[in-house]
Amino acid sequence: MTRTEEVIANALAVLAAARAERERDQERRGRVFGRIEIGLKPSLPKGTQLSLDLH
């Protein structure tokens, strides 16, 4: 194998490792953040005014 072929093989190996790590991270984020429900509104009785102490 020539030096050029070795460099190309190493580059492809690095890309494959980075892709595998990215896919593992994406799968982990899906597990962790998939359980979080973001779109829920707080249940407040209608007509209730919230007091905001801005001092």
In the chain, the amino acid numbered 48 is T
HSE at residue 48, side-chain half, CA atoms within 13 A, is 6
Q: Is position 55 within any domain?
A: no
**Is residue 24 in some structural domain?**
yes
CA–CA distance, 36 with 41 (Å, rounded to integer): 13
Residue 14 lies in a domain: yes
In a domain, 15, yes or no: yes
Domain count, the chain: 1
Query: Which residues form the domain of 32?
Result: 1-37
For the chain, the 3-state helix, strand and coil shares in percent, each to the nearest 5, are 60, 0, 40
User: Which residues lie closer than 8 Å to 55 by C-beta, 6 or more apart?
Assistant: none
Task: With 0.75 as the threshold, say if the pTM is over it.
Answer: no
Residue 26 falls inside a structural domain: yes
- Asked if the structure places residue 50 within a domain, the reply is no
- In this predicted model, what pLDDT tens digit does every residue of 1-55 receive, in sequence order? 799 999 999 999 999 999 999 999 999 988 888 777 666 666 767 777 777 887 7
